[in-house]
Chain A
């Protein structure tokens, strides 16, 4: 599964640490998500979509 987290993070000027704090996960989780090495739970995908004010489908591509 691909995602636009890195692109959106750059757009909103957020570091991996900032995003990790906002969605209450470890920074390592954001690293794994951006590399596409980990598929998030629905809750985490929802939390990330709330941070960027987008829908889940706009961030995560199947």
Chain B
């Protein structure tokens, strides 16, 4: 793994740990209840997917393979389009359900996290239906 990516990854993990440390201090055991628990799980899942992706790319780089080719670009463009479209519906749904959220920060934070989850989902769907 090149130094730039390694330092970026370590910094991201440290920032996450510090932020979650503060949140855990503030909320205590309430952190693992209701909407907070869903958001916490979502962050963990997205973090794990991102880490797996980073290690996979690192392995390919070490094997001397290119990290970007015509298929990966096609997947990126298609999944980007779908993620954008689905995210718009997701935000519409979130604003319609805004009364269900305890505060605006939770609503926006959840929306941003869901956008990230949608982008991974779109990538998965595009890969599955590439030639259909």
Contacts and interface: CB of A to CB of B under 8 A. Distances in A.
Interface stretch (B23-31, B42-50, B61-69): B61-69
A38 B49 CA distance: 24
Interface residues of A, number: 18
Contact of B130 (A17, A32, A41): A32
Interface string B73-92: 00000000000000000000
A40 B131 contact: no
Contacts of A37: 130-131
Interface residues of B, number: 12
Nearest to B64: A21
Given A17-B65, A40-B70, A41-B70, A26 B60 contact: yes
A3 to B, nearest CB: 12
B69 A25 contact: yes
Given A29-B71, A37-B130, A24 B66 contact: yes
A8 interface: no
The 6 tightest CB contacts between A and B, nearest first, are: A25-B69, A29-B71, A37-B130, A37-B131, A26-B69, A41-B70
